[in-house]
């Protein structure tokens, strides 16, 4: 009969470990992010009781409030930051006055998509696996009336300055650039591009001088996978576009 193993005893009073600084993300530093494509989704908003929130008036009265979630992980720490946008039947497009555009439209443009007035807008056209970006972080703005962002303290407060909750950080859309760089050595992450994909991109360029012109052609041709190819070619200097 095999004897029961004897549990080894340790003197816990002799245990020591080194204290190190916890994770910290500054608002004035660039970070590299990768899209966590498998976690991208559209979900209904719920209150604290778990009840689905619905529109109270208008054409969508009674329908659930939904939000797109696009999570990105910071490449050096794997910490996730989520960009969220309300799902609507229409979005404001105004390239001449970008400050008037909806945030999800601004975000799509940062990924090379070019929404056009009276055209269709589908996140599936610009949200693809393998998206890498460089961006800075900012505090998420409050979405409820009466709430104020106190950036100095990193808090969401009421009109009297009383803390409601801690503010959390998210990706600053205005600082996004396509194609992340390694935080360790600054070397560009450029995936190899096949000759067939290069030719397909060059055929679409046909003398164009701007990225916006190329992305418009990619959108019109519905060859959305070529957007990432074009950006990698631009980073590797194989494609000279402004």
Count: domains in the chain = 2
Residue 224 placed within a domain: yes
Residue 156 placed within a domain: no
Q: What gap in Å lies between CA 169 and CA 82, rounded to an integer? A: 9
Computed from CA positions of residues 214, 216, 221, 222, in that sequence, does the dihedral angle turn out positive or negative?
A: positive
| Phi, psi for 93 (deg, rounded to 5) | -120, 120
Residue 106 placed within a domain: yes
For residue 68, list its beta bridge partners: 42, 85
What pLDDT, on a 0 to 100 scale, did the predictor assign at position 81? 94
Q: What gap in Å lies between CA 115 and CA 128, rounded to an integer? A: 16
State the Cα angle at 160 between 158 and 163, rounded to 5°: 50
* CB distance 117 to 100 below 8 Å: no
109 and 208 part of one domain? no
Residue 105 placed within a domain: yes
For residue 73, list its beta bridge partners: 34, 80
* Domain end (from 189, 217, 233): 189
What pLDDT, on a 0 to 100 scale, did the predictor assign at position 224? 63
28 and 93 part of one domain? yes
Indicate the burial class of 70 (C-beta count within 10 angstroms; 0-12, 13-18, 19 or more).
buried
88 and 185 part of one domain? yes
Residue 118 placed within a domain: yes
The 10 Å Cβ neighbour count of residue 35 is 20
Residue 83, CB-side half-sphere exposure with 13 Å CA sphere: 26
Residue 141 placed within a domain: no
Residue 12 placed within a domain: no
What pLDDT, on a 0 to 100 scale, did the predictor assign at position 152? 83
What pLDDT, on a 0 to 100 scale, did the predictor assign at position 189? 44
- 124-182 per-position pLDDT tens digit: 999 999 899 999 999 988 877 788 888 888 888 888 888 988 888 999 999 999 875 43
* Residue 24 pLDDT level (bands cut at 50, 70, 90): confident
122 and 195 part of one domain? no
What pLDDT, on a 0 to 100 scale, did the predictor assign at position 220? 72
pTM metric for this prediction: 0.66
* Residue 48 pLDDT level (bands cut at 50, 70, 90): confident
* CB distance 211 to 234 below 8 Å: yes
88 and 112 part of one domain? yes
Print the domain residue range for 210.
190-242
73 and 185 part of one domain? yes
What pLDDT, on a 0 to 100 scale, did the predictor assign at position 143? 75
């Amino acid at each position: 009969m095999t004897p029961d193993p004897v549990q080894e005893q340790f003197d816990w009073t002799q245990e020591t470990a080194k204290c190190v600084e916890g994770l910290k993300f500054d608002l004035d530093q660039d970070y590299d992010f990768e899209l966590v494509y498998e976690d991208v989704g559209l979900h209904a908003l719920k209150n604290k009781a778990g009840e689905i929130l619905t529109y109270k008036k208008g054409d969508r009265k009674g329908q659930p409030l939904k939000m797109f979630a696009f999570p990105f992980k910071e490449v050096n720490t794997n910490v996730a930051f989520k960009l969220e946008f309300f799902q609507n039947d229409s979005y404001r497009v105004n390239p001449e006055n970008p400050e008037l555009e909806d945030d999800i439209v601004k975000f799509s443009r940062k990924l090379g998509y070019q929404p056009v007035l009276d055209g269709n807008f589908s996140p599936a056209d610009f949200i693809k696996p393998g998206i890498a970006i460089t961006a800075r972080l900012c505090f998420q703005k409050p979405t409820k009336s009466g709430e104020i962002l106190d950036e100095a303290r990193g808090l969401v407060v009421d009109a009297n300055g009383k803390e409601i909750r801690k503010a959390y950080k998210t990706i600053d859309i205005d600082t996004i650039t396509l194609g992340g760089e390694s935080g360790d050595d600054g070397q560009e992450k450029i995936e190899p591009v096949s000759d067939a994909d290069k030719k397909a991109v060059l055929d679409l360029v046909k003398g164009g001088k701007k990225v916006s012109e190329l992305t418009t052609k990619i959108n019109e041709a519905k060859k959305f996978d070529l957007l990432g190819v074009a950006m990698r070619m631009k980073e590797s200097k194989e494609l000279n576009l402004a």
